[in-house]
């Protein structure tokens, strides 16, 4: 990619300022010139950094209207702090020169990128989501851009979109220019000459063209035009003169995108149709809506690419065979119906998924993907249709004393014909051999020849000790609840499993997690941190490449306040194992504690998809959205969490942490009576639990009960919750901002 600084060069630009020092800025070179101003690279001699300076052109410098527009651009953009909006450092005047100081960017304009042809699907969706996320932030502050086009969007050398030029932005309730003044401005910018593509006019919304009052939906139409051009390389509304373009804009539909670019995802056509709806009441109503659809599309593209990578091998013949073997392992039915056997059913199913994943010629859908179908009355044909799975493994598990009975069946989803079925009646101590046998039988039924390495991998077990395995599976179900009692119980079980089998690396790793969380939440007792460090080091020593071992080390770093190291370890583990236990939750919490809220929002969909029923993952997401002031998107995520929490509490009604999260969501959704019921029940169940008390304070704040919130926070601190970084950033505690008692309990960090 050809590198440019900030914007493209134009011939005939003035160079008279090069070499001069304006205020404390030494002008180095001219970067480009647009309709409003000339842009230079300069060195800020005070701060020792390079910046971009935007000056009005000499012809326009004395035009009061243009000067006001120039100043309005700076005010609008400087009110925004977003990674996809060019940062404005300030607006200054030196003698007769008015200029904006902004960040210096490396890369190229989106307009230049589009000239080389349509963007690939991944870049298209990724950049589109970034642009509309920036619009969402601007709209939340009452700022409508109104001149969104590829020439006002920059793509950095790292592939990050940056919106430029808020010169005709509408701030709050400023008067909207009428169509004639808009067209006159466009003519001044020489965009209406015959034989040239219409610039700004081509990206206008119909309401702008008619001179009507504009709102946020105006930008969404313009964004749709930009996205259309990114996808096809062509404008949706074209013409040689402004009159022709206006007629197309107001009265004609653009060509279907798939006619121009057949490789585009079908869903993108629907997104563009809705974005380019001429009636704005039928258009996307918010940037959040269109961003959600693009993120969902990005997720689907990522999943499809991963499936493709998983089933593709070096030889063409091998790849063809692999592509015929996508298999979904459904959670086995709990035939005995005993609640205490749920952990065993889940653990055995997940271990079978792990075993089959070791066979290269099988594409096995991940645990998060199939978890959505657990205990649902679905047929193999339905699974095949929804997941594009060729085969489904389903079964029933029943335990009676020390005996285990499993019935399993492998079904072709197209024909509904069973390719293999078996019934096992074994002692519990044979469970590992049973899992191995099921994996081998499925490979045999699908005519897959196992390599010596695959046979060795199938023979390897997390532990050879059945009692250790049973304790490990039980502990996992308690660890996710995070109350003091649950963490202590989980710790005892994980450590018990490790003592029964000193080579059980996974048990050490998850023991480290719960010890670090206990240290973080309940009083910073060094005993817990020492336990966490020892267990994490043991897991890493036993299996250095184990992703869970990195997560364990990450939780230790997080509990000790080393958030950057926690982020690095979590990301490394998730690269190797995207559904690694607790990985996304650790990453989200560490990013929140560092104030890196946008990164949490970017990972939200992936994190929830991988965590599935672990409601903890929603905490950093909801808090980040609250801290960013994204109220509409926050409501959307709270509604999603309510569904997960309500479902969870029907199965685990004693989970007080879930009740508190549900209480805060109810309060935020104005369901005050339900919120008060849940928080009071939670506190009555665990009156001395620091985590419970802290989250109760959040609920009381949302219920506008300030004294109750402060009382709960004081008790939380006395019980061990001391994290000022988290408390000061938690949007649920906004009611207490500036309160002396709150500042005393959780003082601002330096």
Residues carrying an active site annotation: 147
CB atoms within 10 A of CB 506: 23
Contacts of 659 (CB under 8 A, 6+ apart): 649, 678, 679, 681, 682, 685
Q: Which residues pair with 375 in a beta bridge?
A: none
Q: Which two tokens stand for residue 454?
A: 């695959």
Q: How far apart are CA 480 and CA 661, in angstroms?
A: 14
The Cα 506–Cα 356 span in angstroms is: 19
Other beta carbons within 10 Å of 490: 26
User: Cα-flanking dihedrals φ and ψ of residue 17, to 5°?
Assistant: -90, -10
CA angle 638, 642, 648 (to 5 degrees): 140
Pairing of strands 49-56, 37-44: antiparallel
- Reported in sequence order, the residue ranges of 324-459 that DSSP labels E, i.e. its strands, are 326-329, 333-334, 363-364, 391-400, 403-412, 418-427
Neighbours of 158 (CB within 10 A): 7
Q: List own/partner pairs for 705-713 with CB under 8 A and 24 or more apart.
A: 706/735, 706/736, 706/739, 709/733, 709/735, 709/736, 710/736, 710/739, 710/741, 710/742, 710/745, 712/683, 713/742, 713/745, 713/746
Q: With 0-12 CB in 10 A as exposed, 13-18 as middle and 19+ as buried, what is 397?
A: buried
Give 719-750 as a 3 state SS string.
HCCCCHHHHHHCHHHHHHCCCHHHHHHCCCCC
Q: Torsions phi, psi of 661, nearest 5?
A: -60, -40
DSSP assignment letter at 50? E
Q: How many helices (H) and strands (E) does the chain have?
A: 33, 18
C-alpha 229/C-alpha 257 separation (Å) is 9
Place of tokens 């509990």: 559
DSSP states along 127-151: HHHHHHHHHHHHHHTTEE-----GG
* CA within 13 Å, CB half, 42: 27
Distances in whole angstroms, Cα of residue 82 to Cα of each of 104, 314, 447, 594, 642: 15, 43, 54, 16, 29
Return the bridge partners of 628, or none: none
Please check whether residue 69 is in contact with residue 119, taking contact to mean a CB–CB distance below 8 angstroms: no
Q: What angle do CA 628, 631, 633 make, to 5 degrees?
A: 90
């Amino acid at each position: 990619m050809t590198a440019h600084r900030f914007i493209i060069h134009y011939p005939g630009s003035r160079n008279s300022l090069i070499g001069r020092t304006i205020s404390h800025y030494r002008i180095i070179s001219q970067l480009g010139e647009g309709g409003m101003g000339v842009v230079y690279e300069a060195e800020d001699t005070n701060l020792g950094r390079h910046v971009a300076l935007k000056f009005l052109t000499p012809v326009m410098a004395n035009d009061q209207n243009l000067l006001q527009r120039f100043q309005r651009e700076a005010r609008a953009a400087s009110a925004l702090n977003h990674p996809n909006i060019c940062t404005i450092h300030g607006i200054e005047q030196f003698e007769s020169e008015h200029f904006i100081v902004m960040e210096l960017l490396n890369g190229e304009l989106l307009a230049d990128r589009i000239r080389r042809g349509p963007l690939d699907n991944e870049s298209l969706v990724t950049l589109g989501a970034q642009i509309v996320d920036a619009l969402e932030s601007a709209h939340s502050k009452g700022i409508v851009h109104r001149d969104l086009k590829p020439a006002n969007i920059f793509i950095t050398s790292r592939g990050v979109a940056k919106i430029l030029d808020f010169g005709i932005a509408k701030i709050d309730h400023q008067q909207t220019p009428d169509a004639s003044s808009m067209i006159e401005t466009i003519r001044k910018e020489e965009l209406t000459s015959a034989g040239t593509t219409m610039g700004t006019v081509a990206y206008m919304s119909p309401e702008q063209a008619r001179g009507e009052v504009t709102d946020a939906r105006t930008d969404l139409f313009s964004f749709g035009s930009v996205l259309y051009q990114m996808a096809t390389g062509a404008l949706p509304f074209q013409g040689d003169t402004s009159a022709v373009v206006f007629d197309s804009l107001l009265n004609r539909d653009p060509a279907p995108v798939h006619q121009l670019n057949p490789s585009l995802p079908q869903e993108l056509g629907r997104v563009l149709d809705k974005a380019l709806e001429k009636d704005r009441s039928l258009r996307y109503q918010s940037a959040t809506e269109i961003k959600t659809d693009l993120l969902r599309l990005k997720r689907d593209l990522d999943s499809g690419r991963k499936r493709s990578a998983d089933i593709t091998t070096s030889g063409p013949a091998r790849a063809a065979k692999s592509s015929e073997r996508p298999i979904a392992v459904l959670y086995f039915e709990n035939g005995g119906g005993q609640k205490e056997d749920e952990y065993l059913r889940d653990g055995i199913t997940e271990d079978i998924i792990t075993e089959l994943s070791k066979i290269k010629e099988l594409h096995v859908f991940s645990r998060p993907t199939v978890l959505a179908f657990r205990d649902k009355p679905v047929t193999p044909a339905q699974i095949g249709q929804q997941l594009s799975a060729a085969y489904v493994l389903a079964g029933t598990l029943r335990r009676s004393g020390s005996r285990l009975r499993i019935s399993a069946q492998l079904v072709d989803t197209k024909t509904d014909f069973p390719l293999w079925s078996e019934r096992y009646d074994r002692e519990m101590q044979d469970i590992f051999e049973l899992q191995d046998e099921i994996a081998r039988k499925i490979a045999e039924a699908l005519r897959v020849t196992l390599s010596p390495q695959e046979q060795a991998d199938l023979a390897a077990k997390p532990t050879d000790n059945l009692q250790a395995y049973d304790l490990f599976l039980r502990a996992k179900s308690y660890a996710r609840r995070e109350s003091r009692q649950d963490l202590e119980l989980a710790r005892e079980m994980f450590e018990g499993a490790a003592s029964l089998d000193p080579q059980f690396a996974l048990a050490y790793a998850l023991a480290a997690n719960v010890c670090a969380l206990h240290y973080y939440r309940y009083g910073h007792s060094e005993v817990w941190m020492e336990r966490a460090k020892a267990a994490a080091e043991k897991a890493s020593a036993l299996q250095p490449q184990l992703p869970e071992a990195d997560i364990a080390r990450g939780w230790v770093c997080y509990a000790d306040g080393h958030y950057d190291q926690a982020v690095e370890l979590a990301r490394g583990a998730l690269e190797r194992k995207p559904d690694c236990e607790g990985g996304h939750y650790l990453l989200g919490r560490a990013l929140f504690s560092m104030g890196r809220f946008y990164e949490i929002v970017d990972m939200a969909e992936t994190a929830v998809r991988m965590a599935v029923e672990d409601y903890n993952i929603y905490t950093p997401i909801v808090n980040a959205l609250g801290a960013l002031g994204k109220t509409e998107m926050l409501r959307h995520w709270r509604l999603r969490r309510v569904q997960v929490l309500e479902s969870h509490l029907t199965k685990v009604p004693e989970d007080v942490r879930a009740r508190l999260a549900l209480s805060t969501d109810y309060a935020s959704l104005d369901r005050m009576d339900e919120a008060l019921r849940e928080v009071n029940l939670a506190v009555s169940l665990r009156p001395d639990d620091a985590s419970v008390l802290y989250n109760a304070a959040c609920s009381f704040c949302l219920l506008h009960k300030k004294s109750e919130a402060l009382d709960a926070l004081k008790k939380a601190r006395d019980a061990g919750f001391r994290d000022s970084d988290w408390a000061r950033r938690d949007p649920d505690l906004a009611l207490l901002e500036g309160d002396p008692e709150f500042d005393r309990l959780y003082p601002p960090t330096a």
